[in-house]
Structure 1
Amino acid sequence: MKPLSVVVHVNAPAAAVWEVLTDLEGTAQVLGGVRGVERLSGDTGYQVGTRWRETRVMFGQEATEDMTVTAVEPGRRTELRAESHGMRYRTEFELRPVTGGADASPRTQLVMRFQGEHAHGGRARKLLGALTAPLGVAVSRTAMRQDLADIAAAAERRARARTA
């Protein structure tokens, strides 16, 4: 699958967006498609090596993936990896503070990049992947847009609560 990229502008500072992204225990309350999160690693924070099991609804069915944090630049960028059903997935979130504007309110550009690839080669698997790729891209892009909208809404609520 070719890399996918989706961008959303959030009316909240990058710190509020980062808090939402890294709050594993709050994920199921923020992301509408996620049914549950179970922390697998012994840590309590968010760092390289943090692992969790995430259950979400895809194609009307529950799907569970084990996620691992593979890179962290606090407040700026994080990368996650997962492997499931013969596929490897990489997801990256990048936060870019937006300056300027009429009201000078802190805003953030949130970029999500996603890529899936077959973990094990083979002609039949590659052919099947080529045939199903358009559907996978459409479903993935829709899920990414919804996740980003949910993250933006939660970050904006946090930012408003702090200024109230």
Structure 2
Amino acid sequence: MDHSISLTQHVNASPERVWSVITDIPGSAATLSGVDSVQLLTDGPYGEGTRWKETRKMLGKAETVEMWVAEAHQHRSTTVKALQGGADYTTRFGLVPREGGTDLTLSFGAEVIKPTFASRLMMLLFGRMGMAATRKALTKDLAEIAAKAESLP
């Protein structure tokens, strides 16, 4: 049972500037209005294995999720994973230089692990609503990432 979203935002900033925004985990609560707080769990620069807890409000409810970097290809792409409530979440950012800026593509996927009859029924009843809320939140995240990258010197 897989649910996915892919969105692209053109950013009037170089891939290096966009990369600096999406990999600034400690600063993400200041950049993204949907993120209430971030707690780093590892030291060092952003890269594979970087872990943090992120608290976000979705559908009026605050949720804290532990996230980690599964892949990082500087200035090109990064993949972030999370496991929460029986689901495996994957978020991938892809950066492609275009027209003096960057096309930033965010791909998000949610897969229920070992779906039960009850989880299948819940996804059937509420899956579309949840994915619509997720699409709205991710669209806002992309716009805020773009605004931050475009404001950097």
Q: Distance in 1 between matches of 2:104 and 2:145?
A: 9
User: Which residue in the other structure is 1:91 paired with?
Assistant: 91
What is the one-letter code of the residue matched to 2:150? E
Deviation at 1:117, TM superposition (A): 1.3
Task: Provide runs of 4+ in structure 1 moved above 6 Å.
Answer: none
Q: Equivalent residue of 2:97, what SS?
A: strand
CA distance in 2, matches of 1:44, 1:36: 19
The unaligned stretches of length 5 or more in structure 2 are none
Report what 1:67 is aligned to.
67
Equivalent pairs counted in the alignment come to: 152
1:141 aligns with 2:135: yes
Identity %: 39
Please show how residues 50-61 of structure 1 align to structure 2 within 5 Å.
50-61=50-61
In the alignment, which residue of structure 2 is the partner of 1:6?
Answer: 7
Task: Work out the CA distance in 2 between the residues paired with 1:124 and 1:35.
Answer: 31
- TM-score scaled to structure 1, two decimals? 0.89
Q: Deviations over 1:71-114 (max 9, x none)?
A: 11110000011011111100000001003xxxxxx210000000
Paired with 1:126 and 1:58, the residues of 2 have a C-alpha distance of 21
TM-score of the superposed pair, with normalisation by structure 2 = 0.95
Once the two structures are overlaid, the 10-residue window that deviates more, 71-80 or 120-129, is 120-129
Gaps in structure 1 of 5+ consecutive residues: 100-105
Shift of 1:119: 2.1
Root-mean-square deviation over aligned CA pairs: 1.0
